Structure 1
Amino acid sequence: MSKLVDYLNHLDQNADASAAHAKDAHAAMTHFGLSHEEQAAIKSGNKSHVAKVAGIAEADVPSIQSTDEPR
């Protein structure tokens, strides 16, 4: 499994990680070790882009917490 998918699963399973991502997504993704390309895919919120970067089928992409728009 790709590090990108590992990160998305981590956010789904860990409330503290999800809160850290919501507070400062760039810092959280960098700390986890995601590349700039992986971070851009998550920020896009586009499942097909995430799937392409992760090398998996779009149907296998966990939910995405996009960070492009302010909350």
Structure 2
Amino acid sequence: MSKLLDYLNTLDKDAAAREAHAKDPKAAMKKFGLTPEEKAAVMSGDKKKIADLLGISADALPSIKVTISSF
């Protein structure tokens, strides 16, 4: 499983991780070990970019909520 998928699953299941991401997404993603490309994809909110990195269809991803100003 990729770090990106692990991160998205963690955000889905862990309230503290969601709070940390909401407060400072760059720091949360860096601490988790995401690559610059993965961080940029998450911050863009672009489901296609994220899905492409995961090797899945964008239709398989739920809506993604991001705070662009934090990037």
TM-score by length of 1: 0.86
Post-superposition offset of 1:62: 4.2
| Percent of aligned positions that are identical | 53
Q: Deviations over 1:23-65 (max 9, x none)?
A: 0000000000000000000000010111012222212224423
Unmatched tracts of structure 2, length 5 or more: none
Find the residue that maps to 1:56 and give its secondary structure.
coil
Find the residue that maps to 1:6 and give its secondary structure.
helix
**TM superposition outliers: structure 1 runs of 4+ over 3 Å:** none
Q: What letter matches 2:7 in structure 1?
A: Y
User: Which residue is 2:2 aligned to?
Assistant: 2
Return the structure number with greater relative CO, CA threshold 8 A, min gap 6: 1
Unmatched tracts of structure 1, length 5 or more: none
Alignment partners' CA distance in 1, 2:56 and 2:15? 25
TM-score by length of 2: 0.86
User: Which residue is 2:17 aligned to?
Assistant: 17
